[in-house]
Amino acid sequence: MSSAAEKNIPDESSPGSPNGGNHAKSKEDFDLASIYVSDAQYNRNIFFDTSPQAVRLYLRYNHWLPQVMLYVFILVDLSLALFEEPAVLHVPTWATMLVELLCLLVFTIRLVHYAKVIPRDKFWKDPKNICIIVILMLTLVDMIIYGALKATNCYAVRWSRVLRPLLLVNVTEGRQLRRAFRSIRNALPQIFYVFLLFMFSLLMFSLMALKLLGKRGLKTIDGSPYFFNYLDIVFDLYVLVTTANSPDVMMPAYNASFVFAIFFILYILINTYIFMSVFLAVVYNNYKKYLKEEVRQLVRAKRHKMVRAFAVLQEQREEGGEPVVTQANWNQVVRLVQPDISNAHRELLWSVSDDKNQGCIGKVAFVQLADLLNIEVITLKSRPHPLQSMCPALYLSAPSRLLCRLVQHRAFVIVYDLIILVNAVFIGLDEENPLIGNSEWVFLALYLLEIVLKLYVFEPRAFFSRHSFWNWFDTIIVVSALIATIINSAMTASGGYTSRQILDIVFILRVLRLIRVVDSIKRFRAIINTLIRIGPAILTFGQLIVVVYYIFAMVGMELFKGRVKFYGEDSSDPEKAYCGNILLKGTAFAQLNYCKNNFNNVVSSFILLVELTVVNQWHVLSSGFASVTHASARIFFVLFHIVVVIVIINIFVAFVLEAFFVEYSVEKSNLQTSLERKIEELELAVAQEKLEDNLVNAMETIDSDQGTGQSAHSKPTLMFKIASKRYRTVDALLQRMFEADLDPEDFAEHEEAQSGNFSNPTFSSV
Amino acid sequence: MSSAAEKNIPDESSPGSPNGGNHAKSKEDFDLASIYVSDAQYNRNIFFDTSPQAVRLYLRYNHWLPQVMLYVFILVDLSLALFEEPAVLHVPTWATMLVELLCLLVFTIRLVHYAKVIPRDKFWKDPKNICIIVILMLTLVDMIIYGALKATNCYAVRWSRVLRPLLLVNVTEGRQLRRAFRSIRNALPQIFYVFLLFMFSLLMFSLMALKLLGKRGLKTIDGSPYFFNYLDIVFDLYVLVTTANSPDVMMPAYNASFVFAIFFILYILINTYIFMSVFLAVVYNNYKKYLKEEVRQLVRAKRHKMVRAFAVLQEQREEGGEPVVTQANWNQVVRLVQPDISNAHRELLWSVSDDKNQGCIGKVAFVQLADLLNIEVITLKSRPHPLQSMCPALYLSAPSRLLCRLVQHRAFVIVYDLIILVNAVFIGLDEENPLIGNSEWVFLALYLLEIVLKLYVFEPRAFFSRHSFWNWFDTIIVVSALIATIINSAMTASGGYTSRQILDIVFILRVLRLIRVVDSIKRFRAIINTLIRIGPAILTFGQLIVVVYYIFAMVGMELFKGRVKFYGEDSSDPEKAYCGNILLKGTAFAQLNYCKNNFNNVVSSFILLVELTVVNQWHVLSSGFASVTHASARIFFVLFHIVVVIVIINIFVAFVLEAFFVEYSVEKSNLQTSLERKIEELELAVAQEKLEDNLVNAMETIDSDQGTGQSAHSKPTLMFKIASKRYRTVDALLQRMFEADLDPEDFAEHEEAQSGNFSNPTFSSV
């Protein structure tokens, strides 16, 4: 799953133009330099060939279209499980096989493309390539065997489906995911020792429970002997660690005597509270430690790449002087790296790099470029309101100005917050009352009025700018609600028929509208912004979970499919009471009506795995499946608990904790400060509410963000603002997380950069 | 609960002897200085009077006996709940009242003593004194009212019992507890905002659930309408956050359609995973922040006290020179502060302080004394084995030497580990088989042999030294098991009668013996040592939990006592099926046989509160109590959940995490290193296995710790070793936790100390 070679970076000794002279740079040079810069910006560590042909191929390899296509095909490949036996939607086997072959073809093409980009020996040394090849081969073999067996009507298992999610890990773009897996793998030894000690404690307590409680002839609530069998006790006490069978497991002993409660309380204290905290501590500590090391190497590799880019672009201004990069070349590269960058933004970055206005920059300033590009700068063009241009007399008249002042007033927000609250109460009331049913139209009109008023006051393009999350949110919700409500009314009026689906959508939209209130309360906004900021990083965990879930779902489906049947609500089949399997008769599984929690298709499996992740009642579920197969089926569920709850959820919690601490403690980086200072120097800053903005810049609100059409004419027409706490990439967040620890090294690297001899970083230390 | 005045420290301008001359110090001076040093060592911040009389009173106030007595009486006061209505053991009301009066008297005496020690104005400014006085008065008033009402047979409530645990917080010795409460109080605003946002999310989801699911006519498993009432939905979804009703709450909707599962998964993701992680992050972050600030002030106050002690003891050696403290005076003070310190240990500390061997030390070196005293130094006297003295010829003979070598060999440990494992299997087997029953004697003999052999090889006083935890553990367990087994056998042999209690004890001892294995595995030892090291700090949380539990138990008993009855296992009363309350008929509470989970006495209440802390099934418990009283009773349980699970358990987890990180990352302090260097210089170190020792020095094992009687004669007869990671006091651990952050300030303080003008620290900043 990991890859050693991936962590290597190019170290060819002669980049495209090894000259120190001043002759003009070729297009190839710019391509090469821009690739280095772009790789540094996005922390890609691909050891590509530097021949012009390979560079062109590499540019195409990094294009967004093939990357998106790759992920689409991985998604298609993964979602094939919906159509394969046991299927949600039945489709002939040849159809799924054909689609899978197509996917395999796409993956092969992508891999061949990759093989052409990097040197052959590097390609074969990289475990992730080997991994992909093996997965593709095994899948092909499995498909042939399966097809042959099916053709002869034999029993066949599509075992290679387990391998599919591993593609997600091993494609070039799965860097974050691979890093997460590496972190877990590195933390495993430590976790393992704590786990052993925990198991020892579990076995000791179980032995004591057997001796103390086994011989007393106690009965559980369903009349079976209590704590009689050692293995059952171990399972019961393991479940108690997850708290899922508390206090039921204790009740028979507790009913017999007060004293036995002490045993269970002691057990819970030691195993549930202490050991689970220790697990979190160990996972957190190791995760942090290894991640920090990886990020340190990332930073080193980034600098190295920037120095290579510099080597390609450098020229000697005066004899014997330091090599420099001219503004023209720099501009060319930046345009290549980020085609959508505005000229103004590029000029700004240049003026930060070229602090002394010399028209060229040295190595140290150039190396910053990757980080500078990663700082999100919001460009605001303040234009006059279109109505003002069209009809200045009317727009600038006294009533119009008064209206604008009213809408911008704090009271306007408060009034609408009150309207939302009233609306919430109305939604909660019974909508079959005609008064309340009709009130919906009033609220819709009020919300529409708000949007129209704001569009009148604020410049429309600024109102719908890319960063105005809440404006987009509001408008989309209100307009959709309007459309849905009209359709619903039309249907009701025409035939008296109400579509449940449309009504559901109307309800959801109505409730979603209420979320708006959160934005008006500053403290809430701050918390939500933090959550949204760490969102992309959490998505890595989403992928991690999908990989693990998919594997467990595939295995679970092979083990348990069809064992438990769901008969639907209206069925009067007598087998419904025990989920169609006589072995479940009288079990808690059947009594609690858990029949739909089964492995009969991939969707059910995923929902069941979510329930197992939430932990509660997992012993009922696992015992249910154990009773329809074999007692050892519990191992599957215990394994799932260990992998997902003890390891992955703890890593998730560790990540959220760490990210929150960073949010609470880290100030702006030096680079951001210097960029901001420059913006201020150039008097291009968004002057007002600047301090407030820094608090809320993840989701700009209209109130604090745009200059209004009216007041703008006194200000420069172009303004910048740093989205100080936003990270373009997950890596940027990670680097920020460990910035404090990286700084000393940072400086050392800078000195190295100045002295010009970058040592080839060694990545074998992990 | 907090106290501003407590955080003050003495700042009288003229300590006992304001002279800088050289005349001999009086006994009063030494008393005063030793009090300052002792206060600094244990971080007591009591603003005592410096008059000789008050100092003598203060010495008596700090004596261990009155302190222990105070805690005994608090314990008695708290445990009165066992005997008061509703009682575990019935005792006449006048008896408990009399005991309570006695307790009140003791608390009053202690308070009066305290009032005499500190200046009057300080006494009345300290909230914790006011608090105690108010508690005592209210209790007295309550007792009188209760007595009067009881005498006239009216209904009476002992409401002042809720106040009892507050004594634990407000006595002078409850510093740790007060600090924990202060940390919680300081973190509350932040927690509150997250909680509000969480509640907002809960209410939104509930509204959506009402709209989407309420009108579909779905039924829960017991046939009642599903998601019909808004308040019930809010409660159900709040319970889902604690995962206690997952997946049951989802099943009706999920059975109706796959799609609704998405709603619940989204809800769990946002509210259970994200919000609960955010709670932990916020609690952790705030707790750490405020604790750090408090510890910083503690360190400052400590230095301040040491400077005061120095001022009392200082004398001028030469005209115009720096004031110093002579060795004689220093010795005198150290003897007063720590009467049980060995001469050798004292000499060692002096040689660390007086590095240049001048016979006197300056202020900077003197200030270290408090920290030096807190470093645990293990003194080992290596004596020859008594058998060697008595019978050297035999003890030093070749077979005897061989035996010693065998016992000290690694294989000896491994053999006994194997024996323990075999023993574990035998314990697991059925002991009614005579072969297995008799094997117990073999194992007991083997364990006894091990102890005898070790006593033969190792010097007995060293074997049973204070730090040899495992030796003590082994010997006590084995000897007790021997005694219990003999008694049990004797009883069985005499009358065929087996006492269940004795048998239980035998079983427990047998299983406990197996724990020994943990000590032989180094990694396990390391984890366990860490746990034991943070143990004392965890006890603070124990007190915190007791305070909160007690208050909830008292309130709960008044609200719910007698509503649910437990009929015993053998009862055939038909009311047993519904816990003696017809309102419970058919509820999950009665069906799951939870009748013994009630508030009918203080022990039941505490066990019930533990079950609520573990969270699982708390909705069944709270709904049960709601159905026998009123739906609003759920508020009691939700409140308990918020206070204990969201706040206190999170703080507990935060503390364990932080302590573990410190254990993993912090190296020895400077002072410890210099002490260790000194020990090595003086060639008094335990030479062998030194490195290993540092890993395991919380619980010395015999194998690595003591020199054997035989090899000792070549070494010095006295050896020291630093228990490097052990903390005498909880404060020491805390200071260690934030040492890294404190260091810069530390240095500044030192400079201040050198320049001689200690500013009076300001404690109003928190």
Q: Domain boundary residue among B630, B645, B665?
A: B665
**Is B710 or A60 the better-scoring residue by pLDDT?**
A60
Burial class (CB in 10 A: 0-12, 13-18, 19+), A418: exposed
pLDDT on residue B106: 95
Assess whether pLDDT exceeds 60 at residue B694: no
Q: Do A471 and A504 fall into the same domain?
A: yes
Report residue A76's pLDDT band, with 50, 70 and 90 as the boundaries. Answer: very high
Question: Would you state the pLDDT for residue B271?
Answer: 92
In a domain, B694, yes or no: no
Mean pLDDT of A727-736: 62
Interface of A with B in 67-96 (CB under 8 A): none
My answer on whether A235 and A305 are in the same domain is: yes
Count Cβ atoms within 10 A of the Cβ of residue B329 and give its class: 0-12 exposed, 13-18 middle, 19 or more buried: buried
Count up the domains in chain A and report the number: 4
* Cβ pair A208:B284 closer than 8 A: no
Question: What distance in Å separates the CA atoms of residue B632 and residue B639, rounded to the nearest whole number?
Answer: 11
- DSSP code at position B160: G
Tokens found for residue B343: 């001469």
CA distance B404 to A99: 75
Q: Do B592 and A653 touch (CB under 8 A)?
A: no
Contact between B207 and A511 (Cβ < 8 Å): yes
Q: Is B243 on the interface with A (CB under 8 A)?
A: yes
Residue A549 domain boundaries? 535-665
Summarised one tens digit per residue, pLDDT across range A240-272 is 999 888 888 999 999 888 889 999 999 999 998
Q: What is the model's pLDDT at position A655?
A: 80
Distance, in Å, from the CA atom of B447 to the CA atom of A646, rounded to the nearest integer, reads 37
Residues in A closer than 8 angstroms to B194, CB to CB, are 527
8 Å CB contact of B616 and A614: no
- The CA distance from B530 to B556, in Å, is 37
Q: Scanning the structure block, which residue is given the tokens 């099943």?
A: B251
Distance spanning both ends of chain A, measured CA to CA: 15
Percent of the residues in chain A that have a pLDDT greater than 90, as a whole number = 23
Q: What is the mean pLDDT of residues A169-190?
A: 86
Domain membership of residue A40 (yes or no) is: no
For B590, nearest residue in chain A (alpha carbons)? A221
If asked whether residues B590 and B654 sit together in one domain, one would say yes
How far does the CA of residue B34 sit from the closest CA of chain A (Å)? 39
Q: How far is A370 from chain B (nearest CA, A)?
A: 32
Give the contacts of A10 (CB within 8 A, at least 6 positions apart).
Answer: A47, A48, A50, A305, A308
Amino acid in the structure at residue A622: S
Domain identity same for B602 and B519: no
**A691: in domain:** no
The pLDDT of residue A121 is above 70: yes
- Most confidently predicted of A286-295, A397-406, A745-754: A397-406
Is A14 within a domain?
Answer: no
pLDDT at B69: 94
How many Å apart are CA B525 and CA B516, to the nearest integer? 10
A166 and A188 in one domain? no
Q: What is the pLDDT of residue B303?
A: 85
CATH of the domain at A471: 1.20.120
Q: Could you tell me if B109 and B99 lie in one domain?
A: yes
Residue predicted with more confidence, A434 or B694: A434
> Per the CB < 8 Å rule, is A656 touching B243?
no
- Specify the higher pLDDT residue, B154 or A435: B154
Bigger pLDDT: A637 vs A355: A637
Looking at B491, B511, B533, the residue that finishes a domain is: B533
Task: Give, in degrees to the nearest 5, the angle at Cα A277 between B245 and B730.
Answer: 130
Q: Are residues B550 and B649 in the same domain?
A: yes
Which residue intervals of B429-467 are DSSP H helices?
A: 434-457, 460-463
Looking at the domain assignment, is residue B427 inside a domain? yes
Model confidence at A519: pLDDT above 90: no
DSSP state of B432: T
User: Could you give the CA distance from residue B103 to residue B70 in angstroms, rounded to a whole number?
Assistant: 9
The pLDDT, as a whole number, for residue B683 is 61
Shortest distance, CA B272 to any CA of chain A (angstroms): 9
Among B residues 614-653, those touching chain A with beta carbons less than 8 Å apart: 614-617, 649, 652-653
Mean pLDDT of A526-538: 78
Token duo for residue B757: 């003008």
Q: What is the pLDDT of residue A711?
A: 42
User: Would B464 be classed as within a structural domain?
Assistant: yes
Question: Within the 247-266 window of chain B, which residues sit less than 8 Å (CB to CB) from chain A?
Answer: 247-248, 250-251, 254-256, 258, 261, 265
Residue that is last in its domain, among B260, B276, B292: B292
* Averaged pLDDT, B85-96: 88
Nearest CA in chain B to A288: B661
The count of CB pairs under 8 A between chains A and B is 201
From the list B243, B278, B281, which residue is nearest A615 (CB)? B243
pLDDT beyond 60 at A375? yes
Q: What is the mean pLDDT of residues A162-178?
A: 89
Nearest-CB residue to B504 (from A212, A246, A248): A212
H or E element in which residue B579 lies: none
Q: A260, A507, A512, A658: best mutation site toward chain B, by most B Cβ within 10 Å?
A: A507
**Lowest-confidence pick of A398-407, A489-498, B215-224, B293-302:** A489-498
- Angle, to 10 degrees, between the axis of helix A327-337 and the axis of helix A276-313? 130
pLDDT at A109 over 90: yes
Does residue A429 fall inside a structural domain? yes
Residue in the structure block whose two tokens are 């172009």: A718
Residue A725 has pLDDT above 60, yes or no: no
Interval B53-65: pLDDT, tens: 888 888 888 888 9
Q: Are residues A128 and A220 in the same domain?
A: no
pLDDT band of B723, cuts 50, 70, 90 = low
Instruction: State the Cα–Cα distance between residues A696 and A688, nearest whole angstrom.
Output: 14
Residues B198 and B72 grouped into a single domain:
no
Interface of A with B in 506-545 (CB under 8 A): 507-508, 510-511, 514-515, 517-518, 523-524, 527-528, 531
Residues 6 or more apart whose CB falls under 8 angstroms from that of B301 comprise: B7, B9, B43, B45, B761
Shared domain check, B547 and B506 = no
Looking only at the bridges linking them, the beta strands covering A360-361 and A315-316 are unpaired
Q: Which helix (H) or strand (E) holds B378?
A: strand B377-381
What would the pLDDT profile of B476-531 be if each residue is shown by its tens digit? 999 998 898 888 888 877 776 667 777 788 888 888 888 888 878 888 877 887 78
What's the rounded Cα separation, in Å, for the pair A318 and B109?
A: 90
Nearest to B647 by CA among B310, B284, B222: B284
Q: Which ranges constitute the DSSP H helices of A214-275?
A: 230-241, 251-256, 259-267
- Nearest CA to B610 among A617, A250, A221, A202? A250
Average pLDDT on B147-173 reads 90
Q: Which residue has the higher pLDDT, A8 or A634?
A: A634
Q: Is the pLDDT of residue A324 over 80?
A: yes
**In the predicted model, is pLDDT for residue B711 greater than 50?**
no
Question: What pLDDT sits at residue A740?
Answer: 56
| Alpha helices by DSSP H, B354-497 | 363-367, 369-374, 386-390, 392-395, 398-408, 410-428, 434-457, 460-463, 469-495
Same structural domain for residues A487 and A598? no
Cβ neighbours around B21 below 10 Å, total = 8
Mean pLDDT taken over chain B:
80
Residues B543 and B525 in one domain: no
pLDDT of residue B712: 39
Residue A303: the pLDDT is 85
In the predicted model, what is the mean pLDDT of residues A168-194?
86
Question: Does residue B202 contact residue B274 with C-beta atoms inside 8 Å?
Answer: no
Q: How far is B214 from chain A (nearest CA, A)?
A: 11
Kindly list the residues from chain A whose CB atom is less than 8 angstroms away from the CB atom of residue B245: 616
CB contact under 8 A, A593 and B255: yes
Mind telling me how many Å the CA of B428 is from chain A's nearest CA? Answer: 7
From A440-449, A739-748, B175-184, the region with the lowest mean pLDDT: A739-748
Distance from CA of B282 to the nearest CA of A (A): 8
Does residue B155 have a pLDDT over 70?
yes
Q: Is B341 on the interface with A (CB under 8 A)?
A: no
Does the residue A583 lie in any domain? yes
Highest mean pLDDT among A79-83, A214-218, B310-314: A79-83
Report yes or no: A277 at the B interface, CB cutoff 8 Å: yes
The gap from C-alpha B252 to its chain's centroid, in whole angstroms, comes to 45
DSSP B692-705: HHHHHTTS--HHHH
Task: Report the pLDDT value the prediction gives residue A3, as an integer from 0 to 100.
Answer: 41
Tell me what pLDDT residue B235 has. 93
